[in-house]
Every structure is written in C-alpha cells, then in structure tokens.
Structure 1
Amino acid sequence: MHGDNRFSALTALTCLLSAAHAFYIPGWSIKSFRPTEPIPLFYNKIYSDQTQLQYAYAELPFVCPPAGRRHASFTSGTSITLNLGEVLRGDRIVVSDYELAMGEDQELRYLCSRTIDAEGLQTARDLVREKYVVEWIVDNLPGATSFVTTDKSRKYYAAGFKLGYEDVDLHTGTSRLFLNNHVTLVLRHRRAPGRDGERGKRVIVGFEVYPKSIETGNRNATTGLPFDLEHVDDGFELELPANVTAPDETARSLTIPYTYSVYFREDDKVEWGNRWDMYFVDQEDNQNIHWLAIFNSLVICGLLTAVVAVIFARTIRGDIIGYKEGGLEEGRKKALPKKSRKVRSALPSPSLGSDKGSSGLLEKLDDADADLSSDDEVEDVTGWKLVHGDVFRPPAHGTLLAPLVGCGTQLVFMAAGLILLSCIGVLNPSFRGGFVSVGAALFVFAGVFSGYFSARVFRTFGGQNWRRNVVVTGTLVPGLLFATIFILNLFVWAHASSTAIPFGTLVGIVALWLAVQLPLVYVGSWYGYTMVGAWEHPVKASPVPRAVPVGGWLRGGRVQTVLIAGLVPFAVIFIELLFVFKSLWLDKSGYYYVFGFLAVVSSILIVTVVEVTVVATYLQLCSENYHWWWQSFFVGGGSAVWIFAYTAWYYATRLHIVGFANGLLFFAYSFLACLVYGLLTGTIGFLAAYAFVRRIYA
C-alpha cells in the first residue's frame, strides 16, 4: 500500500508542535452543521483481533475507490494530514464518495459497482475469514456497531463494523463467505449549544453503522438498487460465477454492487461533550474491578511501607542512636572462639572516613577503633556498617549505567506528563493518535533531563569524557528502539499493511532524534557535568576493595533477587494491565480512557518500586555485599520480566492471533514495551536506593 508522502521529514516536527487542532477538551471546539449542510464521511482502515496487520480501507481492491467528486469544501479521495500518532497506529484517512447532508434522510442510494478478478476475490475472502472490522469517521467519531447490555437497560457502542461474515454449515462443515455491500448509516444529532443553536445549527452526538449483505439477484439490473431491504433471501457470497472455466475474462470476475441508506435521528439525551461515553460503557461497568485493583495495590503497598518503617525506625535508627549514646562500650561483648572479628580488620582507619567533620556513627566507630588494642573484639559491628568504606565505590561498567539512568529519567518525565494530560482531559479519544504524538514530543524535549542526570551520575562515577557520554546517552536507547522498529517494519512492508511506517515518517523521526533530542541531551549534560558537578558522598571509598563474603543469593546478587523483588510491583498492577491489554491487543481501538484509575495505580506502583528497592538494598548491604548500584537498577525494573511473561500468557489464552509474522510483531513490540517499562522503573529504583544509602551512611 502506498502512502509514503503522508508524513514527510519536513512536517514531522510541525505535526508534533501544531497538533492542537486535532483534539478537543469537552465543551470546546464544537463543530456544528447547518440544515442540509454537507457532512464528509472519511474512510480510515480495517483491523482484526486475529492479526497485527491493518490495511487502508480506500486501497482495498474490492471496495469503491474515491472518484474525486467535489462536495462543498472537500473532494473525495483527498488524504487528510495525519499526526505522528495516527501514522504509527496505522490510520490512513481519506474523504469518501458518500453524500451526507445534515437532517436529510436518504432511504436508498447507489454508490458504485466494483469488478474484481480472482486475486482481488481471494483478498476479500481472506480478510472476511480473519474477521476484519471497518473504521469510518464522521465528525471525528468512529462508525460504531450498536449493542444493548444484557439487562437491556443501556445501549453502548463498539468502534467499527464487520467487513463481512462466515456462514458454516453444521452438517457438512463447509463454509460460505459473505461481504457486507450495503450499509445503513444512522447519525444522531441535537441542537448546538450557544448561539449556533439559536441559529438552527446541529451537532452530531452519535454515528452508527448497520451493515448488510445483499445478493445480486435481489437488485434492479438498471439502477443497481435492491428491491427490498427488509426481506433479503441470501447475502452477497464471495464466490466466482459457476462458469469460471469459460475463456471470457468477464466470466472469471465478480462484480460487487455497493449501496447505502442514511437516517438522521434527534437525540437530546446525549450531550456533545459526553458523546464518547457510549464507547466506554463496558469500562464503566468494570469500575468495581478497577477499585479492586486499587485496593489490592494499597494492601501490598501498605505491607511494604510497614517493613520499610521497621527498617528505618527500629533497625537503622536504633543502631545509630545506640552508638551515639553509649559508644562501643555497651556493644562490646565476649568474643566467640572461631567467629570473632578484629576491630581493626572490621573498621577502616579514620583517614578513610568523611572529610566533612563528625558524621555520627561512623566517626564514633573510628574513634573507638583508635582506643582499642588490636586484640579487642567486637561482635556487634556487622552487616551494613562493615561496608561503609566500599558502599560508594563506583560500580563496574558505570559508563553504561549512567546513560541508562539518564534515559530512564527521560521516560519518567514523559510518562508523568502523559498521565497528567490524560487526567485533565487534554488527551482524549477525540485527539486521534494524540497519546503517541504528545508522548513523542515529551520524550524528545525531555532529552535535557536525560543529559542532566546522565552527566551527574557519570561524573559521580569518576567519568572524564562527558561528550562521549552525551553520544551514548542520546543514541543508546533511542537507537536500539529505532533499529528494532525499522527491522520489524520490513515484515509489515512485505504485507503491504498500513501499519508499516512510511519512509518519510522514518526520516522525520530520525530528524527529531538527531536534530532536536541530541542537542538537548548535550545542553543538559553540559549543565549537569560542568555547572553542577558530581554528587558528594558522605563517606570516601577505601583504597582497597573489601572482599564480598561467599554464599547466599543476596550476597551474590543473583537473578533470584530480581525476580522475587519484581513480583511485588507486578502484583500491584496486574489487574489494571488486563484492561490495557484488552484495549491495545484485543479491541484494537486504543480507546483506553480510565486514566484516573491508571494514575492512582501508577502512583502506588512508584511507591512500591521505591520500597521494594530500599528493602532489597538494605538486605544486600546487611549481607556485606556493597555492589548495590546495578542491583538496585535491576530490582527496580524486575517487574518487567513478569509483565512480559504476563503478555505471553495473554497471547496464549485470550488472543486469537495466527501466523508467524503476527506473532513476531506481538512479542517484539511487547518486548520493547517491557524494556521501556523496565528502564523507567529501574531508574526510579536506582535513585531511591541511592537516596537511601546516602541517608543511612550520613
């Protein structure tokens, strides 16, 4: 499918900065229509829950292509300028030939007849068999299939309508495929608010589509219109005529007639600002489950808070106060024959302590060490107190950890901005593709935060070449994401899907990356490295590294620590993830709209990640393992492993995706999402652990 010119490199930045026209905040930017005023109907795309491949509806070989007709201020076949989010979600919006006029019912109208060959017929059959759904748009509302709740008390919408259907004979097992070649369009409207309403203008509050399959024999041969819409004996079967073996080419083709009906119905029960609520009745019915998710999250977070409070209030604070008040005399005990520790071997010399004067516990330990003989033994000086000379020693591969932390802060800023804008209503379903577009803009402009934090961590680890760190920070994670998406895009291109990112869009993304984000990373890094500098530690690192005791999975910093610690944050969010997955993978609509619940669960998740990382770091230091830098990062992002396993379970039990390419796309994009999530929460865990360690050793 073509469409490479929809999103050029020149318009990439413009679409991000000027996307405000594409959305509304309820109560603002209302579009009203005069009586008999033409209303454009837009083709968009088709999608299915059995595949990750979407296709532009106007480019399908068996539908009526726009003929270039002029309708008031628009011409059929004209492509609508799309923002970055719309392009990435596979939208391809084109003005159609359907003629709609406000308030004018049209009982039956002929659109066109499309003749297709055997190849086009096979394409239609495959798409119907895979249960594809069509998305049209009127006044920024997707055409919806109307349903009624089980108790018949409320009506709700599901975006899209069926392309066709399959009829299976239960006795013989044979199946017949039918194409919906007639649609009844119902547009619900009401009086426009304010002065427009006084002038007789109307606003659209609902767009319903009722498809029907009508056989060719039930039509007038001259006009192409059906004789009777109510009593249809058989549908339009996707099958070549019986004389397909004839040499005449017309016998090897199939002609599909398309017709439509339009009805306008007044509906004063729905306000214009609430017209999207019909699409979210299902989410409203699940509010009890959302509250259950929040309650589950609060219980887990509360238990962790109690554990952290015990660590701070009783264990650590008690140790420090005990040494401040009684020194080491009260803690000196009789030595055990084979398990004693020499004071001078357990404590560093005063010269390795803080150079900022008295800092409490550690200085008292050093003073006591000077007064005791080399044969005195102390049993109470163990655990986290023993590694204070090594706890701030720069980690191995710190030049890699610093850019990861920088990119993580960039993601934290982006996620916080998206959730905030969603909660206040700026990002809403009417802003089609807005979540991705605004997210990309926030990510690009948050490069300054990425550079700042990366540079400060880099200098804290003793790094010298900060410009090299700028290049690594600005290209490591974005480059990995871009390279992976580009490779996956080749598979989508091979299937001519509208989900394929056009070449112009790829060039635009690279331009945003290299021309905007990378300079911002440089500015942030320059300020963080040269103007602010490194964080000062309360304790200097000793010249000789202390050996980490062998034995115990906490001491070794093994994978078990990350998996066990990551299970707790996953338990906080796994219920809410069901709704996110349903919106992204099952419904394919992308209309997840309970951002209030998501914000609460996300806040609890952050608190949980902080507390889990603090507890894991404390236990690790108590086991005399001071290699906590990388461990805290991996512990913070450990729940990403469980989320990826959760997506595999969801794929196997809930989805109906078939085919190697579709499975590859699902798992590849799921892996990227989990990688981004792990980087975000890992950064939060790292910063929390760093603040905790500085606090207890200060």
Structure 2
Amino acid sequence: MKRRIPMSFVLFVLLVIYCFSCSAFYLPGLAPVSFCVEKDIPDCQTEIQLFVNRLDSVESVLPYEYDVFDFCKDQKEIRPSENLGQVLFGERIESSPYKFTFKQDKKCNKVCTKTYKKENKEDVSKLDFLKMGMQLNYQHHWIIDNMPVTWCYDVEDGQKYCNPGFPIGCLVTADGRAKDACVINSEFNKKNTYYVFNHVDIKITYHNGEKDAWRGARLVAATLEPKSIKQTDKDNPNCDSTTPMEVPGVFDSEVSIVYTYSVTFEENTSIKWASRWDYILVSMPHTNIQWFSIMNSLVIVLFLSGMVAMIMLRTLHKDIARYNQVDQEDLIKLPSTRNKSSVNYEDAQEESGWKQVHGDVFRPPRKGMLLSVFLGQGTQIFIMTFITLFLACLGFLSPANRGALMTCAVVLWVLLGTPAGYVSARLYKTFGGEKWKTNVLLTALLCPGIVFADFFLMNLILWVEGSSAAIPFGTLVAILALWFGISVPLTFIGAYFGFKKPAIEQPVRTNQIPRQIPEQSFFTKPIPGIIMGGILPFGCIFIQLFFILNSIWSHQMYYMFGFLFLVFIILLITCSEATILLCYFHLCAEDYHWWWRSFLTSGFTAVYLFIYAVHYFFSKLQIIGAASTILYFGYTMIMVLIFFLFTGTIGFFACFWFVNKIYSVVKVD
C-alpha cells in the first residue's frame, strides 16, 4: 500500500520553488552584468534596457503603474519576474521604450508624441489623470541594470541630494504659487498652468574592466535631469529650446506633448561596481543627524538600562540575603528565643511583602487561553524579526535586492508556526486549561485573521482606486494557501508536542484560598503602572521609528540595518528590565496579578507607537484624500498589533523568568 504525501509537505516544496524561481531574474548585488561595444561576445551585452517601476507620491498613499498614466509605452512589453515581497509592496516593473546602446551617445532622440483633443472624452480623461499626477507630485522610478536612475540636485548647505525618482511635472497654482519642482525654473511662472517634464538628459557612468580581470564594462551610476521643453516641430525636435511645455489648467485647445531624451556615457574607474549604491545612500538627507541621534539614544538607553539593572540586583540581593539570614537564625536559636526571631522575620516581611504572596503568585490568570494565544503569536513574530534583521545585517536583504525583506519575513512567519503552537499549548496547560482544540485554533487563526482582514479591507480600497499596490486575487489565494496549508499544520504540530509535555513546574505551591490584595497606591495600580512601563522602551526606538516611517511613507531608502539590529537588542533589554522592575514593585505591594500586567506593561509601547504615528501623519506628511488617510491608519494598525504582540511577549517571559527565579531561590516553606 502506497503512503500518501502530506499536503503541507507539497505546499512547502512549492513555496521554496516559488521563492527561488521568483528571485532568479533579480539577484541584485550578486550577479554583475558586463557591457561591450562589440556584439556576439559571450557574457557581454550591448543593449541597455531601461525599466520603469510604479509611480508614487508623498501626498498620496496610492501608487499607480506606469501604464495607468498616458506615457510612451514599449511595443514589446517585458515584465520581469517579481518575488512575493515586490508584489506585496506593490512594485510593478516593466520595460520602457527608452533603449540605449552601450557607449553610443544620443542627442534629443524622440520617443513618442501624445496628442489630446478637447472633443475626445478619452483624451480629456487621460489628460485630467496626468494633471492629477502633477498636482500631487507623482514621481517616476526608473531602473537601469537594477540600479535606480537618480535625479541629483543641490540642497541647503551646498550638499547634493540624489533622489531615486523624479516628478512627472509640476504646477503653478491660480494664485501664482509655484509648487514642488516648479521652483527650480523661473520660466515656470504662468498661473493655473501645469508643466510636464517631457525631456530627460541621462548620463550613464561605467567602470571599464580592461585593467581588471573581467571583460567589458560595468555600470556604476545612472543620473538624469528632467526638463520641460515645448517642441514646435514634432518630427525634428530641438532640445536646446528654453520654452517650457505648458498644459493649461483649463482644457480649451488641443495639447501635444513630445517626449524626448538625450543619453551620454562617461567612464569612471574610481567607482567600484560593489559600491555603486554609495553615492545614493551618502546623499540621503539628515544622514549625519541620524547617526548622531542614534548614538545619543543608545547611550541614554544603555545608561538607563544599567541603572535599572543595578537597582534590581542590589535591592533583590538585599531582600534575599535578609530573608535567608532570618530563616537560618530561626533554626539555630533555642525555643525560648525563637519568638524574638519571629518578630524580626515578620518585620522583614512587612518591609518587603513580595514573599507574603508566594502562595498566590502562580495562581492561573483570568483569560489564560487568550494570554497563551497572544504569547504564542508573539514568539512567532519575535523569532521572525530576529532572523530577518540578522540576515539584513549580513547584507542579504539590502535595498538592491528588491522585495527580499518582505519575502524573507513572510516565509519565516509561515515556517515558524511550530514554536507558536508549542509555546501557546505549553503555557495554556500550565494555566490549567483543558480546551486544547480551541487553544490551537485561536493560536493559528486569531491574530493572523485580524491582520488578514485589515489587509483585505485595505486591498479593497486599492482595488477600487485602481492602484498598483492592490494585491492580485491569485496572490491573495496563494497567501491563504501558505497560511492554511503550511502555517496552520505546523501550529498543530507544535501544539501537539506542547500538550504532550508536562506543565511547567512551579517553585512554590498555590494556596486554595486567594489572598486578599491590600489597598494599592496610585503608582502600583494596574493602569498607571502599565502606562509608565511603555515609556522607556519607546524612548529607545522613536528615533529609528522616524526614519522607518520616512522610508515607508516618504519613499526614502532605509539601509542602516546594523543600527536597527542594535536598537532591536536594546529594545529587548529595556522591555525586560522595565517589566521586571514594575513587576517587583507591585509584588512588594502584595499584588500577585502579574501575568497580564507583565504582558501589557511592555506591550503598551505599541500604544505610544500609534500616538507617534498619528503625530507623524499630521506634522510630517502631506497626505490628502479620504482613501489615503484610511490606508495610512489601516496599515498602521497592522504595525501596532504586531508590535504589541512582540513587545508584550518579551516583557512576559522576562517577568516569568524573574518570578520563577526569586521564588525558587528564597526559602518560602
């Protein structure tokens, strides 16, 4: 009789094949391409293809594909294979009609002409959409040899900033105010007029390999300068003209836009192919400020963490030494003198009351199933984050490898269902739970279901708006297949081993009758303690958080994964120490309900994350429109939920270790 192959194993194999096949076309930074003037040379290309990516804007969350706008299109359109991360991020890469031959300069080469007539409704619609793109400052993103084509220009203090995108055009408002890129040219001065950047001067820099051990040349930089030029002769364009291409705000006559380009090649042997991204990253705004702020934040957090650790060690060591000394003196003294010792012992207990609740400290919490489910999911997210950041530090998930970061995170999350099920089942059994089926199902479905529901609603909005960020239906089905076909079975496997193991042994016995909790001061009450507990962890991440939000919503590159990993480690230490400190304080106040408080204390950092995201939205972003606002807060809620589970799990396990440690060291019988 033949054995049937499990469905989860088949899906796993398909997932691995899918990931490797999707990234086979693009492995940037790993496979350099050589270019030669002569044809028919093995492993050497003569044609340079320019690819276009989606267009985005800092004033709108909705990105659009290149084809949605009425630009020049490639007759034989080629779409490179995209990995899962690129699809989830909404990247849509396709070929363009801009094609070059290596070391062949071209001057004012015509690409196409777009004509719009007032009586044609389709032309009116296309031109209106193009105007909308210019009004909201939508930007092109072009790619040559898997390297962004940048627009470099001078900023304040004489520095140069290289933007990996350039605008469609710009607008001079009805009151004569020049918006965005219109400020760079004094010719853009007509009121209620749009200016289209219909010409680009492209410069491609290459490193010649004649003196090295490889043949041909490798591209090390690609820059451009957008221009707006009105062509009087469509067949013989003149790119030296200074008359800008105007599109009136009121469409009252025929409009013809001629798209042209010029390309030049420049040799530069000082730039190595391996460091060709450096000129972009070095020019990122506020780079020096970012380094200084991160170092300052790390010093402050390390200092505060050291203080917390010192207070905890000294205070706890003194308590343990006092209690053990009292117990030893009580054993060696005569019966006639033990009463005096007992008085000292009671005085010690009254001074610090954490030992008085030893019979209740391991009493199972209320809603233990929900807590165990949160901890299982938090463990899955923690391991996923740690491995992803570690790989990013090694350079495998650099900005050059498009979509690799998201692909790695999704694949790791899918494959880490086993530890989630194991942790949830083991803790639920320790809490005395018996509904193991409900526990496993909630662990596998609750938090991922909330994230998927939010993601699906956001995707509906993107579908309605026609955005390129909308995930295709087939990809959604594939994500569901990975979830139910791989993650859920692995969660069941982990839960099986978790329930098979005995419950976690507690160092002290639990009394049958719960002890009455005395009246608490303001600082030891649950809500004030939880609110205070999230301040210190948030303090060590808010600087990095600013640059992370910039990379997401302002479309800037994030590349400082080394510092991010260091901040991640410090966040672990800070969440652990802050939770342990507050847990010790409320145990001293004879409040033994520490299970949920330890989770919520560090988990409250996510609330500060949400407050900061709201502040960032109103103070830093220029997003307009109801759809963009809903999308911003919808995706922010996903981030907040993931961060809540992550930080809450860190605090819980730190406190769990601490409570087990002190009650196993101190003699309580």
Give the structure 1 partner of residue 349 of structure 2: 381
Aligned match of 1:296: 297
Distance in 1 separating the partners of 2:379 and 2:64: 36
Classify 1:240/1:653 alpha carbon distance in 2 versus 1 (closer, same or farther; 3 Å): closer
Instruction: Tell me the amino acid that sits aligned with residue 63 of structure 2.
Output: Q
For residues 251-290 of structure 1, what are the structure 2 equivalents within 5 Å? 254-283=255-284, 286-290=287-291
Structure 2 unaligned spans of 5+: 1-10, 39-45, 117-122, 178-189, 665-669
Work out whether 1:569 is the aligned partner of 2:537.
yes
Q: Is 1:147–1:157's contact at 8 Å kept on the other side of the alignment? A: yes
Opposite residue 66 of structure 1, the aligned amino acid is D
Q: Is 1:212 matched up with 2:227?
A: yes
Q: How many residues align?
A: 622
Which range moves more in the overlay, 267-276 or 278-287?
278-287
Partner of 1:47: 56
Work out the CA distance in 1 between the residues paired with 2:132 and 2:174: 19
Find the aligned partners of 1:17 and 1:511 in 2 and give their Cα distance. 18
Aligned match of 1:596: 562
1:672 pairs, out of 634, 638, 642, with: 638
Question: Following TM superposition, by how much is the alpha carbon of 1:635 offset from its aligned partner in structure 2, in angstroms?
Answer: 0.7
Question: Which secondary structure does the structure 2 equivalent of 1:657 belong to?
Answer: coil
User: Is the 8 Å Cα contact of residues 563 and 641 (structure 1) preserved in structure 2?
Assistant: no
- Is 1:233 the counterpart of 2:243 in the alignment? yes
Of 498, 509, 514 in structure 2, the residue corresponding to residue 545 of structure 1 is 514
Are residues 194 and 451 of structure 1, via their aligned partners in 2, closer, same or farther at CA, if it must alter by over 3 Å? farther
Partner of 2:485: 515
Between the aligned partners of 1:263 and 1:214, the Cα distance in structure 2 is: 19
Q: How does 1:93-104 map to 2 (within 5 A)?
A: 93-104=93-104
SS at match of 1:656: coil
* Residue 655 of structure 2 corresponds to residue 686 of structure 1: no
Is the contact between residue 204 and residue 264 of structure 2 (CA under 8 Å) also seen in structure 1? yes
1:240-639 alignment, distance < 5 Å: 242-243=252-253, 254-283=255-284, 286-313=287-314, 315-327=315-327, 378-382=346-350, 383-530=353-500, 532-558=501-527, 560-586=528-554, 588-589=555-556, 591-639=557-605
**Residue 617 of structure 2: aligned partner:** 651
Q: Which residue of 1 aligns with 2:149?
A: 143
Call closer, same or farther: CA 1:9–1:214 in 2, change over 3 Å.
Answer: farther
Letter of the 2:237 counterpart: P
**How far did 1:191 drift?**
1.7
Larger deviation, residues 671-680 vs 184-193:
184-193
Q: Does 1:56 align with 2:65?
A: yes
Looking at structure 2, the residues matched to 316 and 167 of structure 1 have their Cα atoms a distance apart, in angstroms, of: 68
Give the deviation of 1:242 after TM superposition: 4.1
Mapped partners of 1:554, 1:17: distance in 2? 54
Residue 121 (structure 1) shift? 1.1
Q: Report Cα offsets for 1:335-367 as digits up to 9, x if no partner.
A: xxxxxxxxxxxxxxxxxxxxxxxxxxxxx8xxx
The structure-2 alpha-carbon separation of the partners of 1:468 and 1:275, relative to structure 1 and needing over 3 Å to count, comes to same
What amino acid is aligned across from residue 242 of structure 2 in structure 1?
V
What is the deviation of 1:269?
A: 2.4
Q: Which amino acid aligns with 2:512?
A: P
**1:30 has 2:32 as partner:** yes
* 1-structure distance, mates of 2:135, 2:37: 41
Which of 71, 74, 94 does residue 66 from structure 1 map onto?
A: 74
Change in Cα spacing, 1:306 to 1:151, as seen in structure 2 (3 Å) is: closer
TM-score (norm 1): 0.84
- 8 A Cα contact 2:583 2:655, kept in partner: yes
Task: State the Cα deviation string for residues 17-38 of structure 1 (Å, max 9, x = none).
Answer: 4455366575x31111222611
Relative to structure 1, is the Cα distance of residues 194 and 476 closer, same or farther in structure 2, using a 3 angstrom cutoff? farther
| Separation (CA, whole Å) in 2 of partners of 1:118 and 1:622 | 73
**3-state SS of the aligned residue for 1:97?**
strand
- Alpha-carbon shift at residue 694 of structure 1 (Å): 0.2
Instruction: Tell me how far apart the structure 2 counterparts of residues 481 and 151 of structure 1 sit (CA, whole Å).
Output: 44
Q: Which runs of 5+ in 1 are unaligned?
A: 1-7, 69-76, 244-252, 331-363
In structure 2, distance between residues paired with 1:550 and 1:98: 75
The aligned counterpart of 1:184 is 201
| Counterpart contact for 2:206–2:268, Cα < 8 Å | yes
Instruction: Work out the CA distance in 2 between the residues paired with 1:522 and 1:479.
Output: 16
Describe the SS at the equivalent of 1:549. Answer: coil
Q: State the alpha-carbon separation in 2 of the partners of residues 278 and 52 from structure 1.
A: 27
Between the aligned residues of both structures, percent identity stands at 33
Contact 1:155 1:278 in 2 (8 A): no
Distance 1:238 1:632, change over 3 A: same
Q: Which residue number in structure 2 is paired with residue 343 of structure 1?
A: none
Any conservation in 1 of the 2:417–2:487 contact (CA below 8 Å)? yes
**CA distance 1:15–1:210, change in 2 (3 Å):** farther
Distance in 1 between the 2:431 and 2:20 partners?
37
The 2-side partners of 1:535 and 1:9 are apart by 32
Partner-residue secondary structure (3-state), 2:240: coil
Cα gap change, 1:9 to 1:444, in 2 (>3 Å): closer
How far residue 82 of structure 1 moved from its aligned partner, in angstroms, is: 1.0
Q: Give the 3-state SS of the residue equivalent to 2:550 in structure 1.
A: helix
Q: Is the 8 A contact 1:114 1:256 kept in 2?
A: yes
Q: TM-score, normalised by structure 2?
A: 0.87
Give the aligned partner of residue 640 of structure 1. 606
Q: Identify the residue that residue 129 of structure 2 maps to in structure 1.
A: 123
TM-aligned CA distance change 1:658 to 1:262, over 3 Å: same
Instruction: Give, as a single letter, the amino acid of the residue that structure 1 aligns with 2:217.
Output: R
**1:554, distance to aligned residue in structure 2 (A):** 4.9
Deviations 1:626-682 (A, max 9, x none): 111010001111111111111111111111011111111112211211221121011
CA distance in 2, matches of 1:400, 1:300: 32
1:568-616: per-residue Cα shift (whole Å, max 9, x none)?
1111121222221222112x14x20011111112211111111000001
Q: Which amino acid in structure 1 is aligned with residue 67 of structure 2?
A: A
Which residue of the partner structure matches residue 41 of structure 2? none
Counterpart amino acid of residue 62 in structure 2: L
Q: Is the 8 A contact 1:168 1:176 kept in 2?
A: yes
| Letter in structure 2 aligned against 1:202 | A
